Amino acid sequence: MSNTKKTEHCMVCGSDLAYLNNAEPLTCSFCGTTGQGHIKCPRGHFICDACHGKDAMKTIEDTVFTTQAKDPVELSELLMSHPGLPMLGCEHAYIVAGSLMAALKNSPYGKNGDADIREVFSRTSKQAHSGYCGLTGVCGIAPAVGACFSIFLGAHCGTDKEQKITMEAVTRVSQALADLTGPSCCKAYARAAIAVAVSLFGDKFGIVLPVKETSIQCLHADKHPHGCREKKCPYFKEPSKDIFAESPHLPVMACQT
C-alpha cells in the first residue's frame, strides 16, 4: 500500500466513498485501529479521524502558533490552499478556530494566547467528527466557533450573557452553513463561519479584525467529490470563456495602409 495519502475520495485508492446509515466496525488502513465508522471505501479501505487529519493538523498547528497574521480570512485561505489538506474533512473546523484565535491573539486586543488556542482545539475535537454534518446536522465548524467565543468570554454552563452570546454565535454559524448546503462543502462552510464570527466580534465587542474587503474566489471546485454547487455558491469562480471560440468570424486587425 502506498504511504501517499490522496486528498479526494478514498485516501488510499481514490475510489468514491460509501456513506453508511448505520455504523460498522471498521479497521483503519493506516494505523490498524478498529472502531465504529460511517464512511468507508467500497474496496475495503477505512481511515480513522486521527489518520485522516494527522498531516494537515501538524501544518495547521505549526502555522497558527507562529503566524503574525491579523486577518483570519487571509490565514484560513492560506491553510486551505495547502496541497496536503483533504478537500473535505473536520480539519476545516480547526482552520476556522485557529484562524480566529490567532487573529485575536495578534490583534491590539491580544488577550488570548497559545494555551487558549490549544483549549479551543481540544474542545473542537469533542464535537468535530467526520460526516456528522449529515449524520446529526451539526458541522464541526459550528462548535469550533462556539469554542472560540466561549474561551473569549469565559463562558460555561451557568454563566449569563457569556453563554447566551456563545450559543447565539453557534446558531448564526449553523444557519449560515445550512444556507450553503446541497451538497455540503467544508471550504464554503469555513468561509461563511469566519464571516459570521468576524461580524459578531465587531458588533458585540467592538473588535474589528482587519479583513481585506475583497471577494473570495474558490480554486477548489474541480476537486469536490460530491460535485461543486458552482453558481449556487457565492465563492465559485466561474471559468473564463473565450468569447471568440464559438464565433465563425475571428477578429482581424484593420489595415493601416
Specify whether the CB–CB gap between 132 and 139 falls below 8 A.
Answer: yes
3-state secondary structure of 5: coil
Interacting residues of 42 by C-beta distance below 8 A, sequence separation 6+: 15, 16, 18
Mean pLDDT within 239-245: 59
> Which residue reads 491580544 in cell numbers?
110
Please say if the pLDDT value at position 163 is more than 50: yes
Which amino acid, 147? Answer: A
Q: What pLDDT does 107 receive?
A: 93
Residue 85 half-sphere exposure toward CB, CA atoms < 13 A: 24
Percentage of residues in the chain with pLDDT exceeding 70? 90
Mean pLDDT within 131-153: 96
Specify whether the CB–CB gap between 194 and 144 falls below 8 A.
Answer: no
Specify whether the CB–CB gap between 93 and 124 falls below 8 A.
Answer: yes
3-state secondary structure of 20: strand
Q: What pLDDT does 249 receive?
A: 58
Specify whether the CB–CB gap between 139 and 130 falls below 8 A.
Answer: no
Higher-confidence position of 99 and 238:
99
Which range, 9-23, 28-42, 119-133, 238-252, has the best average confidence (pLDDT)? Answer: 119-133
Specify whether the CB–CB gap between 131 and 155 falls below 8 A.
Answer: no
Task: Tell me the pLDDT tens digit for each residue of 54-70.
Answer: 888 999 999 999 999 99
Specify whether the CB–CB gap between 197 and 145 falls below 8 A.
Answer: yes
Mean pLDDT within 29-36: 90
Please say if the pLDDT value at position 91 is more than 80: yes
Higher-confidence position of 66 and 109:
66
Q: Rounded to whole angstroms, how far apart are CA atoms 70 and 66?
A: 12
Task: Tell me the pLDDT tens digit for each residue of 209-236.
Answer: 999 877 888 988 888 988 999 999 999 8
Cα torsion through 165, 166, 172, 177, rounded to 10: 170
* Mean pLDDT of all residues belonging to the chain: 89
Between helices 141-153 and 161-178, what is the axis angle to 10°? 160
Please say if the pLDDT value at position 243 is more than 60: no
Please say if the pLDDT value at position 1 is more than 50: no
Q: Report the sign of the C-alpha dihedral through residues 168, 89, 112, 206, in that order.
A: negative
Tell me which DSSP letter residue 242 carries: -
**Which helix (DSSP H) or strand (DSSP E) does residue 27 occupy?**
strand 18-27
Q: Name the H helices within the chain.
A: 49-66, 72-80, 91-106, 114-125, 132-135, 141-153, 161-178, 186-205
Q: What is the DSSP string of 52-89?
A: HHHHHHHHHHHHHHH-----HHHHHHHHHT-TTS-SSS
